[in-house]
A = this chain, B = another copy of it.
Amino acid sequence: MLNIFNSEMDFIIDWERKNMDVTMKDVAKLAGVSLSTVSRVLNDSSLVREETARKVKKAVDKLDYQINDSARILRTNTSNLIGVIGAGMERPFLANLLKGIEAEARERGFALIYGDSDGELEKEQSYLNIMKQKKIDGIILITTNYYNDLLSIVKNYKIPVVFASGYINDPEISCVTVDNVAAAYDVVEYLCQVGHQDIAFIKGPDLDLLASQERLRGVKLALRLSDIEYDPKRFIEGDFTFESGYSAAKKIINKFPDVTAIFAFNDEMAVGVISYLKEHNIKVPEDISVVGFDGIELGKYIDPALTTIKQSGYQLGLRSIEILNRVINQEKIEDNKVFIPHKLVVRESTNKLNEFTTNKEVISNNRG
């Protein structure tokens, strides 16, 4: 008995001295079993005697054994790795989306490999290649532009994919997103209901086919139903930054001095708008109402607090991983277009036309 203990110690000390990586072979040796048995214990195989398993686990602990992931991936061809390709992830909404993705991936035993494409197809391709080489199990795309090219590449690669925060009209592709059409519709409908007829819009980049174009559709639909003429000139192109909201507001005020409401397709641009208007002594909401989109935290703390469509990036992230996991497991997915809830949150930046009372915060019913 003492002998065994001594040789065990020698073994371990030997390792420390050499400072090498511990492999399954070492564990097997220390536990006095074969490689196969160690592997079985590590993978919770049922066909190993309890006592043997205990021995092995003890050896694993003693040696502080860590699996060599590359070897496992090489053999099994599955990596427990999910790729995330995003663009503009520093935007608060998308940062929260990433956080949700991360949390749920972690929960399900996936690690994340992350790349920012800046919306450039070339970078997206390059990341796709790298990720493929790393044998990712699936991929989440949070990208907005050029989706046609990218899509064909992804399909060609035959990697399970989920588009997060974007709707793609292709029955093979799973998407998780807010219902941009309905949400944008809600905004315009609300503005019309409180009397606004002369509305200007700040959309996203024209290349953004996934979110901005959908919101545009919702707007057009609502305008039609409210018998307001669709005037393309009233749609200024922004890029979802504060700055672009600011400068879009400038254009709007110069070209359409009579607008009573501005709907920016995200909150940052709306904040930019408010900043410009206040700077030029245009009162929000008394002179002009402003609506944003996303419902980022910030909206509650600016003055006036921002009316917006609230959606949860974090939830969107969770759902995306959930769906992706189903695709990876080849589960049947009844409906691969998933819409997360949204709410129109009316705060202080909007007002009934020509009234000067301050709204209290009202939350409309969920329409998602």
Contact = CB atoms under 8 A, between A and B. Distances in A.
Interface residues of A, number: 51
A114 B110 CA distance: 11
Q: How many copies does the complex hold?
A: 2
A278 B303 contact: yes
A103 B114 CA distance: 11
Contact of A113 (B114, B133, B274, B301): B114
A44 B243 CA distance: 46
Contact of A74 (B70, B95, B98): B70
Interface in A94-141: 95-96, 98-99, 102-103, 106, 111-116, 123, 129-135
Interface in A243-292: 243, 246, 271-272, 274-275, 278
A71 B69 contact: no
Interface of A: 66-71, 73-74, 79, 81, 84, 89-92, 95-96, 98-99, 102-103, 106, 111-116, 123, 129-135, 241-243, 246, 271-272, 274-275, 278, 297-298, 300-303
A349 to B, nearest CB: 12
Nearest to A313: B90
Contacts of A68: 74, 133, 135
Contacts of A241: 297
B302 A133 contact: no
Given A102-B115, A112-B114, A303-B303, A135 B95 contact: no
8 A-B pairs with least C-beta separation: A70-B73, A275-B301, A90-B95, A70-B74, A70-B70, A69-B133, A114-B114, A95-B95
Given A66-B133, A89-B99, 10 more contacts: A66-B132, A70-B73, A84-B114, A89-B98, A102-B115, A114-B114, A242-B298, A242-B300, A243-B297, A275-B301
